[in-house]
Structure 1
Amino acid sequence: MPPVPTGPLARLGATVVRYRRATLVLSLLFTLLAAGLSWTVSDRLVNGGYIPQDAESQRAARFLADSFGAGTADLVLVLTADRPADDPTVADAGTRLTSELDARTDTAAVQSWWNTGEPALRSTDGRSALILVRLVGAEDERQGHAKELMAELDRRDLPFSVQATGESQVNREIIEQSEQDLIRAELIVTPLTLLILLLVFGSVVAASLPAVVGAIAVLGSLAVLTPLAEITNVSVFALNVATALGFGLAVDYSLFIVTRYREELALGRDSHQAVVVAVVTAGRTVLFSACTVALSMCGLLVYPLFFLRSLAYSGILVVGFGALAAVVVLPAVLAVLGPKVFRWSLPWARADRDVRAAGFWSALARTVMRRPVLTAGPVMLLLVALALPFTQVRFGLADANVLPADAPAARAANVVERDFDAHAIDALTVALPGGTADARLDSYVQRISALPHVTHVDAPTGRYADGAQAVPATPAHAAMVNPDGVRLNVVLDVDPFSAAGERVVAQVRDLPGPVPALVGGPSATLVDTKGVVGGMLPWALAIVGVSTFILLFLFTGGLLVPVKALVLNLLSLTATFGVMVYVFQDGHLKWLVGDFTATGYLEVTIPVLAFCIAFGLSMDYEVFMLSRMREEYVRHGDNERAVAVGLARTGRLISAAAVIVASVMVALATSQLSLLKLLGVALALAVVTDALLVRAVLVPAFMRLAGRANWWAPGPLARLHRRIGLRDS
């Protein structure tokens, strides 16, 4: 039996064993304190943060809001009567309501068909009209104002029905739906996860340990997010991601450490020695894995979008607290319970189970390594085939479609799209700060109106189409100029999130104007957001790739293994992205993943988020497998034997952990919000694909083909690894 290792982790393990009861008491106090601090975290979270606020489209929106009281409405009221909107009774009520809303202290500007005469604000059948309300305050305040306003309208007796959509209404309903989804997911997924944990751990007591680690990880992260939300915006989805990721990693970390503890007991060590060895070996892997996951989440920090940044904060925090709980609190529990941790073993948890499982995975590894090309080839072809739909990906922005179809804001948005001139409502807006209505403006507007897919342009001097004036100026047109400048509405005949719509944005921005122009509207916002996401993507990939490469080199001492890990992870993740397009963009297999609105595009930030989280989870399994392979290779220097033994000792654990993590991610997939559903399905698929195809087949095949080169490094780097490489002692 090998001696008990020495080193920093060994000293940590010995200290935890010595002060095990004090450690548990302090951990309990910390958990209770964190629970108290995080009690109100959901009240501080907001929706949004998908759009770069310093982009040209947002500067245009702010100019229009400040100078013209125009721009994107926070609240869109859809008023529908049983008679035409210009009926005296309806018109009188609509005019009064518009004036009353405009006089409120919580509104900044109010526009309706009754006070502007704008044709786009009246439905095609004439029975419905819109009131566009801009609210005051920060986003969370605007959501509160929207809730109060709608509650007041519900109590009033009006000659028309009132439905509401718009940014603040949608955001409010997303937050409420997110909280409901969290409760539903816990009710659905918790029993399933507990059953799988029992099957994997084989003991009621051992199966409860991930709950301890997960509770500390999630509550600790939420306790930090609570004050952080007072300083900066934190996305409402941080709560869902922290919960799913925290419990998913808690399962991984607990499974790794408990399994190593059981192995050391089987070798004849006493309980306390087994705990120390488990901390040194599996605990080292857990800490290293946590670093790789956290560094993957750091890739999101380069983006100036608080949606992505706040999810990075959430992920990094939950990973850190989870790793700390796994190497401190969990060993203390094992030291107190000793072999009793395997009490109440279930009938199927026979003593030879691990031996038989190890035999299966060892045989699989040797089969793959005998025919590496023949076995790996079909798997790679399958992954490439799954990735192909991603070549047809289209991107858009989050809107009411992320809500379930029967949500009030989604129903109202559908009415607007069906019964109103949606192209006019989603028009491009051109802001000309300091501009005036003169001949230069007239020429500029004519050139815009002549562009492909532009149906007409409304300007201070009238309406223009096909390069000429089509309608003389009306009072509504005259209001499009003031001492601050000029605004234009450019109405297109294509979807704002289409490639044609994006081309029009580029063409308008390229046209020289009388003064520098700011182009806004949905199409421009998408162009700007895609530009930021795409522009920062190389930096995000560099952070994830370079940091992972360095850490894997320090972990293994070889250069080829980190390269292999990066390539195979990218391959499996691209396959996942292909499935995302096939299902959520194109609307296939809805019966399998649950109902949602197929919009024909993916929200532009979700692939980046899914990549960073899934990459981290994949590296979690990579690190665990490599740790055992490296351990065997250092022992005897036989590459094939190291791969076979490494897979034999980790295959069952990795596959079981993947199934459990996938079931936890199903908690996200059960959401009624399409963004969370998409993220949950993508992460579950990525984890299962990585564990069952990449780790079980591609990794042993690649390592067989590479041979001893897996562990090779040039002399200077080899000497560097001997000095600063990560070791057990």
Structure 2
Amino acid sequence: MRPSIRTSGRAVFRYRRAFIIFWAGALIVSVLFAPRLAGVTTGGGFDTPGSESARAADLLQEEFGLGYRRIVQILYHEPGGDVAEGAFRIGVTASAERVRQIPGVESVSTWYATGNDLLVSPDRSATYAIVNFEGGEDEIKALVPEIRSRARQGSALEVHVLGGPAFDYDLVETSERDLWQAEKYALPAIVVILIAVFGSLLAAGLPALLGGASVTVSLAILYFIGLRQELSVFVLNMVTMIGMGLGVDYSLFFVSRFREELRLHASAPAAVENTMATAGRAVVFSGAAVIVGMAMLVPFDFIFMRSLGVGGMVVAAVSVVIAVSLLPAALGVLGRRIDTARVAPARLTEGGGGRFWQNWSRMVMGRPVLFLGASVALLLALALPVAGMRAGSPGGQDLSPRTDSRQGLDLLAEKWGVGEASPIYIVIDTGEPFGALSRETRDGLARLEAVLAADGRVTRVESLADLELPSEPVAVRDHLLENPADAVAAATRVNIAGESDIAVARVVTSIEPTREETRRLVEDIRKEMIPGIASFGQAEAVVGGSAAETLDFTARLRQAFPYLVAAVMVITFFVLMLLFRSLILPVKAIFMNLLSVSAAYGVLVLVFQKGYGAGLLGFTPTEGIIPFVPVILFSILFGLSMDYEVFLLSRVKEEYDRGAPNEEAVTVGLQKTGRIITTAALIMIAVFASFALAESIIIKEFGVGLAVSIFLDATVVRVVLVPATMKLLGRWNWWLPGWLDRLLPDLSLRDGRL
């Protein structure tokens, strides 16, 4: 006997109490571990392995200790004050000493101890100390709260703690707040929508509970994954977004079909079997589409992308498994009691939309060309702004203004200039001992400084060329030993503690590091300025810093994105072809999904780049879209959009396989599923829109993009484009060459075979 999902339904019903006990135990265990996920995540994950900026970052870390996540700055400010005043000096010195006593802190460098004037703002009302650490990055991040507490203890100065570890710490805190706020808004909305659909507290509560269970179990699984591989903190928000949407939607479709089967069959076992063979099959294929989309993110080199891919796959798989095991087991126990605890009469909630969806589908199919043209025109109009989409840059501005890191970055930009916090680093690796101190290298740095100083995008350049040093490299070493002030300045410009073979030029820009002009400056340095300096000879010159990292990150994304799109479309085509036994329906579904995703991209540009609705959503528009957002949105949306395609066309296919003509099958399919698909879309939109209110701009972009796409997919695409195209194509909808029909495995919707 061939394995059958109907047979699985029979087995689940038979052992329903065992399934419930198993999942109850799994949920209890998950509740213990899910909250720990945030503790094993990181706020970074945007590094581009093998890139020029990554090479620069490695050299800066290894030779100068300038690793992004290993240095903290403590910013001290007194409006109208002067750092040279006694009270200011005492406040900073005492604060630095308290921080220095924290276990794990290696050193705290202040202006008072080093005399480095770069640590003092031009108006002399602010200064910052640099904290270096022992131990690993996770240990350093854990010290941030204590550093903030000790730095401020008893101080009359305005004190902010910033830098990589503080940024990561605040990012985790912001993500957890965003998660809590989203749940606060989304969960009540979900419950209200489900009650309005089912009219029963029990029927409405079941999908909501199982959606929450899907998220909780997934977060617990990811905690154990996070113990072995690095995960981005954004996996918390993404798993919750996708998990609540999928978990509730799958349960909604399943419960709706179960209640319909109960009205047709006297027994609960038969209802469970038939629901598994129909809605259960659709859930499996829909989940497979989501898993495929998210799997395409896993091969990316970036921890951030890989984390979301793994998280999406886990939560989609868990949602499917719960929907086809725990849910039918619970329905088998409840039986007809699923409709108890009614709060609305059955006549108001039963019938699946009935006459409205029947009349609607006939109206669309009565004028298919008109509706097709109007809907395609609308989607194309929304997609037009995509032509002007520019790549933004993740950075400190992604943090909430409430966070200490963001406030410190804003003050640093105000007092020192916008480029002070994130300079461009030019690293020259001569490959020879004392090579960085040679006259040739210093002459090259001097010429490079002159070229950069003449560029209006640059405020200043710091390198060895600024120091008065002897000509011979060995004499330079002796000079630095005899002149501590020069030694302090040189320590950040050449690896004098090592082999003196690496020199660094620090370029402070006059424009924000997240702006496109800064990335163009990086390109100019790489392609024009450095190659034009012959005295660097065979030395390796690499450009790093946040602007360079964003440039390399975006370039790698653009290179890989077409392959991701192609892979998702090809695999989706074969999945839908197997399910519907048609060559036309998969092609049509892919085309319509591309339209809705493009329209969502267009809305992203209008909102986050052009600023429409910025006041409503509470953010300041940026000059571009965070580069990885469209890539990840494509993977998620292609899978989620298939949900409604699968549920609608599965029902149409059922009617068609029973012998109904094409037009009648479409009418009945939309009549039976229209109301449920609309409800499912409302739930998804409620979940995603709640994340559009997040403090993090990254999460906002995801929330808006997902909410808009689901809205368009469930309205324009599923209830207009699908019936219109189904009418125009007629019997061609179901066309499959005979030779291919014989080759493909039989996954007919009629008998529940898998």
TM-score by length of 1: 0.91
CA distance in 2, matches of 1:14, 1:567: 38
Report which stretch shifted further, 528-537 or 436-445: 436-445
Match of 1:358 in 2: 354
Instruction: Give me the whole-angstrom Cα distance separating, in 2, the residues matched to 1:110 and 1:52.
Output: 30
| 1:67-466 aligned within 5 A | 67-70=63-66, 72=68, 74-81=71-78, 82-87=80-85, 89-91=87-89, 94=92, 106-107=104-105, 110-114=108-112, 120-155=118-153, 157-158=154-155, 160-350=157-347, 353-354=350-351, 357-434=353-430, 435-437=435-437, 438-439=439-440, 441-443=442-444, 445-447=446-448, 449-450=450-451, 452=455, 453-454=457-458, 456-462=460-466
Aligned equivalents of 2:349 and 2:520: distance in 1?
65
Counting aligned pairs with the same residue, the percent is 35
Match of 1:490 in 2: 507
- The answer (yes or no) to whether the contact 1:404–1:672 under 8 Å persists in 2 is yes
How far apart, in 2, do the equivalents of 1:552 and 1:659 lie?
25
Opposite residue 389 of structure 2, the aligned amino acid is V
CA 1:228 to 1:107, structure 2 compared with 1: closer, same or farther past 3 Å? same
Match of 1:534 in 2: 558
| In the alignment, structure 1 residue 544 sits paired with structure 2 residue 568 | yes
**Structure 2 CA distance for aligned equivalents of residues 12 and 70 of structure 1:** 58
Are the structure 2 counterparts of residues 184 and 426 from structure 1 closer, same or farther at C-alpha, using a change threshold of 3 Å? Answer: closer
Measure the CA separation in 1 of the matches of 2:189 and 2:746. Answer: 46
Any conservation in 1 of the 2:358–2:671 contact (CA below 8 Å)?
Answer: yes
Q: Distance in 1 between matches of 2:290 and 2:650?
A: 16
Matched, 1:36 2:32: yes
Q: Deviations over 1:496-521 (max 9, x none)?
A: 23333222222322333430112101
Describe the SS at the equivalent of 2:287: helix
Query: 1:445: how far off?
Result: 4.7
For the structure 1 residues 497 and 298, does the alpha-carbon distance in structure 2 shift closer, same or farther, using more than 3 Å as the test? same
Contact 1:295/1:543 (8 A) holds in 2: no
Question: Contact conserved, 1:302 with 1:540, CA < 8 A, in 2?
Answer: no
Which residue type is aligned with residue 531 of structure 1? A
> Which of 676-685 and 104-113 deviates more?
104-113
Secondary structure of the equivalent of 2:351?
A: helix
Q: 1:69 to 1:326 in 2, by over 3 A?
A: closer
2:16 corresponds, among 20, 25, 32, to 20
Question: What's the counterpart of residue 561 of structure 1?
Answer: 585
| Residue in 2 that maps onto 1:598 | 621
Contact 1:423–1:492 (CA<8 Å) still a contact in 2? yes
- Cα deviation for residue 723 of structure 1 reads 4.7
Q: Distance in 1 between matches of 2:308 and 2:339?
A: 36
Decide whether the 8 Å contact of 2:461 with 2:505 is kept in 1.
yes
Shift of 1:104: 6.2
- Between the aligned partners of 1:636 and 1:159, the Cα distance in structure 2 is 82
Q: What is the Cα deviation at residue 421 of structure 1? A: 2.3
**Per-residue CA shift, 1:114-145, capped at 9, x if unaligned?**
45555553323221112233444443322112
TM-align CA RMSD: 2.7
Q: Read off the aligned partner of 2:447 and give its amino acid letter.
A: Q
Q: 1:131 to 1:380 in 2, by over 3 A?
A: farther
Query: What's the CA shift for 1:177?
Result: 2.5
Distance across 2 between alignment mates of 1:272 and 1:691? 32
Q: What does residue 508 of structure 1 align with? A: 525
State the AA in 1 paired with 2:606.
Y
Tell me how far apart the structure 2 counterparts of residues 725 and 454 of structure 1 sit (CA, whole Å): 66
Q: Using the alignment, how far apart are the partners of 1:312 and 1:681 within structure 2?
A: 19
> What runs of 5+ residues in structure 1 fail to find an aligned partner?
465-472
**Structure 1 residue 627 corresponds to structure 2 residue 644:** no
Compared with structure 1, are the counterparts of its residues 423 and 27 closer, same or farther at alpha carbon in structure 2 (3 Å cutoff)? closer
Task: Give the Cα separation in 1 of the matches to 2:419 and 2:615.
Answer: 32
Q: Secondary structure at the match of 2:143?
A: helix
Deviation at 1:193, TM superposition (A): 1.5
Instruction: State the number of aligned residues.
Output: 714
TM-score, normalization: structure 2?
0.88
State the shift of 1:79 in Å. 0.8
Provide the rounded CA distance (Å) in 1 between the counterparts of 2:361 and 2:449. 64
Match in the other structure for 2:717: 694
Residue 105 of structure 1: CA displacement? 5.6
Paired residue secondary structure (2:273): helix
Q: Match for 2:685: what amino acid?
A: A
